[in-house]
Structure 1
């Protein structure tokens, strides 16, 4: 993605509108998105071809200096090579002129980014899950998307149409006055536009540089702690002692009965079979569209509810304290994965992050992932060694405080904002008392399991377990390879 130099007082914001294309325009949209996929696959094949060629030549005993040169995956190199190939390669000569050059540039830019992510992940310079080598995109599974950075990109004066390169003027489902007014007033500048097919409809997202003044929040001196959960979506406890509970809408759970009915209807129709090449019947296509419509509605309801919640919180409090949740790890629990995904924990933190930084003068504090907010007493600061999930009421053994588990965690998170001043993170002693020493059980150590005890006993007796022998062999092999390298 191209990086723009944002002016002081301006932020980059997205304005998204649902499109209402006619039959010919939808065909052109699908053609542009398909061209982006074809360009991406061509770039992946063109770059990796040199890799496989070098590997084959090494097996023939060809010297290192005489091997095939590496092909660069930078965007300028891919553009130059593609412009040469599109005139001679029979896969492109017949149809490449039908689409805008921005469609092919989208695929090439995505391929260059994918190779960069792979190289950085290989060198350990990229955070998150390890990125693998780029693979070809399937025509059946790939999400349709195309990005335009040059050409005629505008919101029309009537407020109900947008104009894009080669696609022309397309009507929108909703008014575009929110963007058109800013552009005409000179407080916004359109940088790029992206069209994509998502949740059964075509969407146009405009990346806009907008002048945005920081809006003062309603309660700038109040600190709020947010504890996310499944039983209730969030518990908000502020520094004034007020505790609010946000119920969990459970949009997906409410639609399970309807989804089951539509899924049974789909299963009774003649669907596609890739092994035999059987085409789906018209009744199957109609039933599958009805089932997808239910899924799309659930996603839209969830997105709307989360945006309303995060916008209200960011506009009210001066300081917001949230937890650094390991959502990917939580989703591995097969009993809670569906409920956690339906609540959208990661999306809440993401929205709060940019809404507090760009729209309001709000400070956002992210508690450490290992901070025991649920185990710590909000009255005296004592920490329990264990607190299972089924225990929903916190009972302090030191001071006798009895409080709801989620309310206690939210109060501790709100008190965490005072750590820089008082040196404590306990709700009951924000101003005066020192921190209470924490007993065993509130650290980051992994709990001792049966397998761990066996391993420790084996090491004490001098025995070596099978998985230890495999680890030692792998480490020795890696050490030898590094020495040879």
Structure 2
């Protein structure tokens, strides 16, 4: 099974220069190939697009000799990424046509472990084309064959490496326990067992600090060192909020996976829900989509089952006792479900989670 492990790395000044060159070269090759494809299509519209042949990164090295200074596998992966973007576009036009990569504060490139060129030794990692090894903070160990790795630099200036490993999968012992999970904003998640996972609202807690830092940034002169320092402060706070959110999501998803064999969750259309401008910020902060992604891949790792309720399943409007449907909970201010038929009184979120649990029975 393929698993990715992300670690922070600490390159020295010489290594930072090489990484910056590789980031720039992969971005240049991607943009150059995309521009050539667009030009070729405009000149040969009458031909079948599937029969067209385009230049490979190796062909650019004769014209741009500085491309030889970086890892050729990183350039080859840039071509693969462009091919994938094209395939996704022709498979589903709503995804959008591939876009040119901008020179931003977020950079990355991917290389493969060809002939054992990538390995970790004495808290240092060896990368292709680099003579010296980069210091790595390996906070967890793994056993398996390294397939590839992605080096990235985030806006705060920190460097990370994500290592894709082909390792043996160890499943958790099976259990008979099943649970329905209702996701919300007031409380992050409520289970059919009555357990409540509170919503920490990390963004809301940091909004005042973030607003001040952004105001300071806007007042700095463009191109100045003070503006660069102010931008890094804003980036670090955004990174802290994102890390707090991911930490919470990992802890909740891991607990649910460890304790339950079957987990039932809602099929929430977040892209539609976020159009509600009154709740958009809260919905984005709670990150339901990422939580669902975590549950799905962890269930594959550990031999659990995830059931996604149909989008038309009215879990909040049904009575978990008699099955009667009532529209009272369409009003979000209504926090208690009162069944007009059987008289059951229950918290609306616990009632919804019990209805979701019925899909696992």
> Does residue 107 of structure 1 match 2:64?
no
Give the counterpart of 1:205 among 151, 159, 162. 162
Which one of 308, 313, 331 corresponds to residue 366 of structure 1?
308
- Classify 1:153/1:230 alpha carbon distance in 2 versus 1 (closer, same or farther; 3 Å): farther
For residues 244 and 71 of structure 1, the distance between their equivalents in structure 2, rounded to whole angstroms, comes to 54
Contact 1:153–1:192, Cα closer than 8 Å, also in 2 = no
1:192 aligns with one of 148, 165, 185: 148
- The 4+ residue runs of structure 1 with deviation greater than 4 A are 67-74
- Give the aligned partner of residue 324 of structure 1: 267
Q: Which has the larger radius of gyration?
A: 1
For 1:121, the equivalent position in structure 2 comes to: 92
- Aligned length in residues: 357
Match of 2:9 in 1: 19
TM-score by length of 1: 0.70
Q: Corresponding residue for 1:247?
A: 198
Conserved 8 A contact 1:195-1:202: yes
Task: Tell me: CA distance 1:357–1:292, structure 2 relative to 1, closer, same or farther (3 Å).
Answer: same
Structure 2 match to 1:214? 171
Unaligned runs of 5+ in 2: none
Deviations 1:308-355 (A, max 9, x none): 110111010111111111011111111111111111100111111111
Q: CA deviation at 1:390?
A: 1.8
**CA distance in structure 1 between the partners assigned to 2:281 and 2:227 by the alignment:** 27
2:343 maps to 1:400: yes
Show the 5 A alignment for 1:83-482.
Answer: 83-87=58-62, 89=63, 92-93=64-65, 95-122=66-93, 130-140=94-104, 143-149=106-112, 150=114, 152-158=116-122, 160-167=123-130, 168-172=132-136, 174-175=137-138, 178-179=141-142, 182=143, 188-198=144-154, 200=156, 201-217=158-174, 220-237=175-192, 242-271=193-222, 280-359=223-302, 361-386=303-328, 387-418=330-361
Q: 1:33 aligns with which of 23, 29, 37?
A: 23
The offset of 1:15, in angstroms, is: 1.2
Q: Distance in 2 between matches of 1:13 and 1:395?
A: 46
Q: Which structure is richer in relative contact order (CA contacts within 8 A, separation 6 or more)? A: 2
What SS does the aligned partner of 2:261 have?
strand
CA RMSD of superposed structures (Å): 1.9
Deviation at 1:25, TM superposition (A): 0.8
1-structure distance, mates of 2:353, 2:138: 40
Report which stretch shifted further, 385-394 or 316-325.
Answer: 385-394
Q: Distance in 2 between matches of 1:194 and 1:353?
A: 23
Q: In 2 relative to 1, CA 373–264 (structure 1 residues): closer, same or farther, beyond 3 Å?
A: same
Deviation by residue 1:399-449 (Cα, 9 ceiling, x = unmatched):
11111111110111112211xxxxxxxxxxxxxxxxxxxxxxxxxxxxxxx
Distance 2:121 2:41 in 1: 51
Q: Does the Cα contact within 8 Å between 2:118 and 2:128 map onto a contact in 1? A: no
Gaps of 5+ in 1: 1-10, 56-66, 123-129, 183-187, 272-279, 419-485
**Matches of 2:26 and 2:220, distance apart in 1:** 33
Where does residue 471 of structure 1 map in the other structure? Answer: none
Distance 1:287 1:306 in 2: 29
Distance in 2 (alpha carbons) for counterparts of 1:72 and 1:28: 37
